[in-house]
Amino acid sequence: MTHEDAGHYAAKHPQGTEPDTAVAAEIEKKVKNGTLSCAAAHAIAEKMKLVPAEVGRSMDLMEVRLMKCQLGLFGYTPDKSIVTPAESVSADLETAINSATVDGRLPCRKAWQLAADRGIKRMDLSAACETLGIKVKPCQLGAF
């Protein structure tokens, strides 16, 4: 959902859906001014042995805004995105990214894995995607 959808994240889910109480309690411990960072959301998922989407779902239902995407794609001020295109992308990395795409997009989970496999920063992988014109989607937390 976009910034304009702030306060309406629960609308992505069936009416009457409630956040998981245990997940909500963990989110409440870390939420600041109605926001939670991507890193904090992933830490909750890891701590509770959940897939990140489960934390994202509870965040949506609690109307908690996700901030500071670890790929630099959204949640930063003042420009929202902080990722910039890479000056160049090696042929090997381009092939790996293209091989991991689904319907022309690179899933966030695969972006993280490619970065880890190559020992590069997630932001550097995202910068390569920007250069190649490949959108990262879907988000592991369900933000996009």
Rounded distance, CA 52 to CA 7, Å? 21
Same domain, residue pair 84 and 142: yes
Q: Are 60 and 10 in contact (CB under 8 A)?
A: yes
Q: Give me the pLDDT at residue 5, please.
A: 57
- Judge if 88 and 142 occupy the same domain: yes
Looking at the structure of the chain, the number of domains it has is: 2
**Domain residue limits at 118:** 80-144
How many C-beta neighbours within 10 Å does residue 18 have? Answer: 11
- Given a cut of 90, is residue 4 above it in pLDDT? no
Q: What's the pLDDT score for residue 6? A: 62
Q: Are residues 7 and 63 in the same domain?
A: yes
Q: What number is the average pLDDT over the span 45-64? A: 97
Query: Above 50 in pLDDT, residue 102?
Result: yes
Q: What is the pLDDT of residues 109-129, one digit of tens each?
A: 999 999 999 999 999 999 999
Average pLDDT of span 68-88: 95
Residue 139 lies inside a defined structural domain of this protein: yes
Residue 66, beta-bridge partner list: 36
Decide: pTM greater than 0.85: yes
Whether residue 73 is contained in a domain is answered as: no
User: C-alpha 49: how far from its chain's center?
Assistant: 18
Residues 60 and 115 in one domain: no
Model confidence at 8, in pLDDT bands (50, 70, 90)? confident
SS3 of residue 64 by DSSP:
coil
